[in-house]
Amino acid sequence: SSCHIYYSLCMWHSLQPHSTCSGASHHVPTKVPSKNQTKLANGETEVHHRPKRGWIWNQFFVLEEHMGPDAQYVGKLHSNSDKGDGSVRYILSGEGAGTIFIIDEVTGDIHATKSLDRERKTHYVLHAQALDRNTEEALEPKSEFIIKVQDINDNAPKFPDGPFVASVPEMSEVGTSVLQVTATDADDPTYGNSARIVYSILQGQPYFSVDPKTGIIRTALANMDREAREHYTVVIQAKDMAGQVGGLSGSTTINITLTDVNDNPPKFPQKNYQLYVPESAQVGKPVGKIKANDEDLGVNADIRYSIIISEGANMFSISADRDTREGIISLKKPLNFERKKTYTLNIEGVNTHVDPRFSYLGSFKDTATLKITVGDVDEAPVFSMDYYIMDVYENSPSGTEVGAVTARDPDSRNSHVRYFLDRKEEGINYFRVDEYSGVIYTTLPLDREDMPWHNITVMASEVDNPSLLSHVPVTVQVLDVNDNPPEIATDEEVIVCESSRPGQVIQTVTAVDKDDFANGQRFSFASPSQLPVNPNFTLKDNEDSTASIIARRRRFNHLTQELYELPIVVWDGGEPSLSGTSTLTLRVCPCQRHGRIRMCQGEAFLSSAGLSTGALIAILLCIVILLAIVVLFITLRRSKKEPLIISEEDIRENVVTYDDEGGGEEDTEAFDIIALRNPAAAEELKFRRDIRPEGRKHCGPPRIHRSPSVELDEVDVHQFIKQKLVEADMDTSVPPYDSLQTYAYEGQGSPTGSISPLDSPGTHSEQDFNYLDNWGPQFQKLAELYGDPESDVTT
């Protein structure tokens, strides 16, 4: 069976947006036969045997914002199977079914129970179906349809970004764009004129206008002057329905400000000005101000001031204050009422940023005349010079004239001036000034070596007005006289090496003198004439303000005499010439040569001891490591030592070796050599080799022994050795094992004699061993032993 569907459509006239339908009308389209047919091109029809719905439909329409008391009728569903007996039940499903849209199950009428808003939802998708009320079987398949919400003009235009702030330069041409405003309307722009907006100006005429379609605001009046009026308020209206009667409207406010341009020249309020400046005004300080007015703002009101007549330009200057835009007048040179009492300045003020578009308005500058009157002021005395430099010889008696200062009263009355010294400064105890003449005298003798320069300040005041003071610096140079004798430059000891030779230069000395010589210092040196000739040293004047100390003999010995004194007389080249005697101390000691520097062995030792911290740490670390190695070695040696007798059956034979080579002629404790020389005498002194004998001390330096040879008796060496062996076997203090003792007896007598110097008679060698002095400190001892036994000569 096929379904018949009715729908209602409320036709609206485009010019009547707020009209309502008087009722819903049923519009029934042409009925289609129950059997589906298709009309062919030749006029015949083709019958389709498959069942088909009897109605073609897809959507309904419903007006938004329905405010009636009853539910709004939307449409009607009807099936061909419905015979009107109530056996067909209609159901509705989908968006809003049962809440917004309801259907009469018997008649198929659809109603909207709520007022709809197109701006919130534009359409709803639903499904309709006809069922057999008794069997609940579907009489037709489920069909989908759309209910569209039809728009009405219920939203006024709005300006979402308002209110607005805009600006436009003053003096702009007519039609200059200021701002574009845009309004929005929530109504459907595709249906009718509900969203068609037209712009108009409600406030702001005749200064501004608005384009009705685009909303662009433009200037409507020429030569709008910011200085006359700066702020404007413009109200723009947006109306829908193309501006027709009945349309909805909205408005916004635009605050428009005219920005400044340089269209006004600077102007002095008056053409003539007067200024009083006292003659005591300080140079470089402001003395007055002048201002030209400019109605513009910012950089357009910047003014540059200048003095256009040279008469006052030499005495005054003018500059602009950036904050106040005033012309600050400053003093360039000191004023003098007695010389010039008035000055006339022509001052010009010019804009620094000129807009060429407004050049037709004239020149952007103005001038004014400033008359400056100089005021008379009682001034302090003025010195004839800014500073004074004087000189005086040292040691001059008190009251010696040094120089004079002069000051005068610059005022017309020319008052008398008094002079005095500034008591706050040091050095005034040496000088005084005459209060009437200004002459400076010494009060004490001056010493150039103590203070070569003196700085004092002389003050001057008027007799009539003592409160006005002026100051002037005075520098006094103390000139030199030859009043200090010269002296040797060094106080250190002079080192004399023991190996010094006659004629060798020990040291070169110089002199110093506290006096000042314009052509350089000249010194002469000599030995004191009243003393006898020094047999050890002589002095040579090098004639270049230096002198050389020369040795007169060889081989000084610090053990015999360590210190010598050498007096030296020094003369300077002054007028009159002065002399001084200085005594140098010469120390004798063995020397070591390090390049050109000589230093005593003791000093060398001390200097070598003055090591750096890093070197000392390294040395201490090495010592600690060596001690650790020794301790470890001793510990290991003790831990590995085995007992002499492991068991009673283990008796070892041992050879005891005495690797003692003796300590020379002075060693009498290592072993007894009497047995080797005289076996008979050895019987009386039986020393044990394994027991330390009592030590015999030798005092004093080693002596050379010259003794005759010992006559040995005829003794059989074999018997002597056997006797020693028996003594060793019978001695209970020896170790409990065999010991081999060796006695290197070589017999008696020798045809060649002994080559040892101990038994040989002393003979005096005639060979000259003085060359050993040149072999260095390593052979110094030999040089003393084999040198000539000449006695030292002392002063």
Assign 515 a pLDDT band (cuts: 50, 70, 90): confident
Mean pLDDT of 434-448: 92
pLDDT at 73: 84
What proportion of the chain, given as a percentage, has pLDDT over 90?
28
Average pLDDT over the chain, rounded to an integer: 77
Q: Contact 545/486 with Cβ under 8 angstroms?
A: no
Q: 23 or 649: which carries more pLDDT confidence?
A: 649
Residue 41's pLDDT is 47
| Cβ neighbours, 10 Å, residue 486 | 28
Calpha distance 728→721 (Å, rounded): 11
Q: Answer yes or no: is pLDDT of 34 > 70.
A: no
- pLDDT value, residue 565: 87
pLDDT band, very low/low/confident/very high, at 272 (cuts 50, 70, 90)? very high
Query: Lowest mean pLDDT: which of 8-12, 90-94, 546-550, 570-574?
Result: 8-12
For the whole prediction, is pTM greater than 0.75? no
Query: Has residue 602 got a pLDDT over 70?
Result: no
Residue 414 above 90 pLDDT?
A: no
Residue 411 exposure: Cα atoms within 13 Å on the Cβ side: 19
Span of 151-155, 201-205, 709-713, 726-730 with lowest mean pLDDT: 709-713
User: In this predicted structure, what is the pLDDT of residue 576?
Assistant: 79
How confident is the model over 678-735, as pLDDT tens digits?
A: 555 444 444 444 444 444 333 333 333 333 333 344 456 678 788 888 887 777 666 6
pLDDT at 214: 92
Sorted by sequence, the CB contacts under 8 Å of residue 10 that are 6+ apart come out as 21, 24, 61, 63, 150
Contact 97, 128 (CB under 8 A): no
Q: What is the 3-state secondary structure (H, E, C) of 496-554?
A: EECCCCCCCEEEEEEEECCCCCCCCCCEEEECCCCCCCCCCEEEEECCCCEEEEEECCC
Q: Could you give the count of Cα atoms lying within 13 Å of 628 in the half-sphere of its Cβ? A: 6
Cis peptide leading into residue 736 (ω within 30°)? no
Spatial contact of 29 and 166, defined as CB atoms under 8 Å apart = no
User: What are the Cα distances from residue 240, in Å, to 155, 157, 215, 595?
Assistant: 9, 7, 14, 114
**Quick one: 728 exposed, middle or buried, by C-beta within 10 A (0-12, 13-18, 19+)?**
middle
Task: Pick the closest to residue 468 from 388, 389, 378 (CA basis).
Answer: 378
